[in-house]
A and B are shown apart, each in its own frame.
Chain A
Amino acid sequence: MVVLLATLFFMGLALGSVLVSLDLSNESILKLRIPRTLTAIFCGAGIAVAGLLMQTLFRNPLAGPSVLGISSGSSFGVALGIFILNGTGISIVSERLTVSTLAVIGALAVTFLLLFVSKYLRKSNTLLIVGLMVGYFVSSIVNVFSFYGDKTNLQSFVYWGLGSFDKEVDFAILPYYYVPIIVLIVFVFLLQKPLNLLLMGEKYAISLGLNVKQNRFIIILIVGLLTGLITALCGPIAFLGIATPHLARNFISSSNHKHVIPFTIMLGASLGLICDIISRLPGLDGNLPLNAVTSFIGAPLVIWIIFKNKMV
């Protein structure tokens, strides 16, 4: 897996709409492809881990970072930035950073709302439904913004929603995303025991000594932060969060988080790179939308797993 990841990393640097040699003095590699490739690795790994946490917490194979409404919260922040603040002159450093900041704030607002609600709910599945409804509610406001927004802003918003690993390539800004994403991913290793207990369902987990409410709080906070940061950096990324944990469990034939967490991280990073490479294959005029590629690869893979495991 490490070899695959390393190979994909160098392929990511060399391949693109223009083929270049792996020369670090090459400006296009240094300024564009290294940040883009690193973003694909960290965000692919991060969104996959967020998906794994959600699927384990809710014991629901369809759970993913987008399901709890957290991505919708990000979209709301971005819509606010593009449709309302754009043109008012309100800006934090740059227009790009303003939008990113609002995306993180939007995701965190939904996350904290869910954390607040979760204190009053005994069952995680109820929280899943609340999250879905919050997502629909927030999306409806975004739709109103889109309907009344002008054409240029609408185009910017739709473009943001297509997702891309090269929305931000400034090395002065990227560490502000990379460092917290890496810290959060590493923190997930500390959760392997609670996650394994949650596989048994909440009743058994409690009987085996797990503080379910506290761990649910921590898990949702991590998912919210990861999703917010990644959505701010790349736009909403479809499917990797849902598909990668399934693939990881299938490859290693285990649900034990001691093995599933590292494998999901490596696989998420690899799939992020693969999707990025495909989205800018040599010969393509411009880049394909990232979300078109992730869904194009992810959907058939999940269907294949379902049939392979006779889950029909």
Chain B
Amino acid sequence: MENQTPILSLINLDVGYNATPLLNAINLNANKGELIALMGLNGTGKTTLFKTILKETPSLSGKVLFGDKELELNQLQSQISVVYTERISIYGFSVTDMIAMGRMPHTNRFGKLTSKDQEVINASIKSLKLDDIAEHQIDNLSDGQFQKVMIARALAQETPLLLLDEPTAFLDIKNKKMIHELLVDLSQNHNKTILVSTHDITFCQLHCDKVWLVKDGELNEKLANEIKESDFD
């Protein structure tokens, strides 16, 4: 279960665009094995925070530390794997091909997979119970199956931190539940630190360790079972 080893630290961090801050003076830690929900109304800066952590957008001030280090863009792939909301389509790509993409940061110039890579890919397939559809084309998967495959790909990347941007936004109740249970499993049994942006209060209350709540230009931490609808008024 979780311990107090910070995997991600935001120190006096201001995020925003064109020198206009959306979120000010963030000081938060994400520790090993924690499942953290990033919550807040649309347009309050959740995606900008993600982009800042991923160095897609420069921070206005402050630091983002991975462990105890600041990293360059080309070093992030060893620390963070990402799952976005949008579905992508690639003709002729199987589930296994897609999960193998998670190994690319570990491969040589030609992307050649070693036996170790194959082992990790197979382990990811097994962990997420994708054996039955391993050779299916990703374009033929349901939305829920697709997100599961993208999480398996992120798992194959073998990073301590998983960052998911509204992974269940387009999913039905059954698939949402499946993805939520999967995230719990990854944090508890694989010791992954997971930061997931979501609007699902019930998921937070039932499954998350804590919530990073965006409100009025500030990002504050709350215990997951303390979160309630009135926090968004």
Contact = CB atoms under 8 A, between A and B. Distances in A.
A139 interface: no
Given A203-B84, A207-B80, A209-B77, A193 B90 contact: no
Interface string B205-231: 000000000000000000000000000
A256 B137 CA distance: 13
Given A206-B73, A207-B76, A207-B77, A196 B92 contact: no
Interface stretch (B10-18, B100-108, B114-122): B100-108
A199 B157 contact: no
A227 to B, nearest CB: 24
A211 B74 contact: yes
Interface in B72-111: 73-74, 76-77, 80-82, 84, 88, 90-93, 97, 101-102, 104-105, 107, 109-111
Contacts of A309: 91
Interface string A246-272: 000100111110100000000000000
Given A193-B104, A204-B84, A211-B74, A255 B111 contact: no
A173 interface: no
Interface residues of B, number: 25
B90 A207 contact: no
A209 B104 contact: yes
Contacts of A255: 90-93
A200 interface: yes
A197 interface: yes
B131 interface: no
A255 B94 CA distance: 10
Q: How large is the interface on A (under 10, 10 to 19, 20 to 34, 35 or more residues)?
A: 20 to 34
Contact of A193 (B82, B92, B111): B111
Given A192-B110, A193-B104, A208-B77, A249 B92 contact: yes
Interface string A207-246: 1110100000000000000000000000000000000000
Contact of A209 (B74, B88, B90, B92): B74
Contacts of A286: none
Main secondary structure of the interface of B (DSSP, over half): loop
Contacts of A206: 54, 56, 73
B206 to A, nearest CB: 29
A4 interface: no
Interface in B169-197: none
Given A207-B77, A209-B77, A193 B88 contact: no
A309 B92 CA distance: 11
A180 interface: no
A52 to B, nearest CB: 13
Interface in B127-149: none
Contacts of B107: 193
Interface of B: 54, 56, 73-74, 76-77, 80-82, 84, 88, 90-93, 97, 101-102, 104-105, 107, 109-111, 157
14 contacts: A193-B107, A193-B109, A199-B93, A200-B101, A203-B84, A206-B56, A207-B54, A207-B81, A207-B82, A209-B77, A252-B92, A254-B91, A254-B93, A256-B97
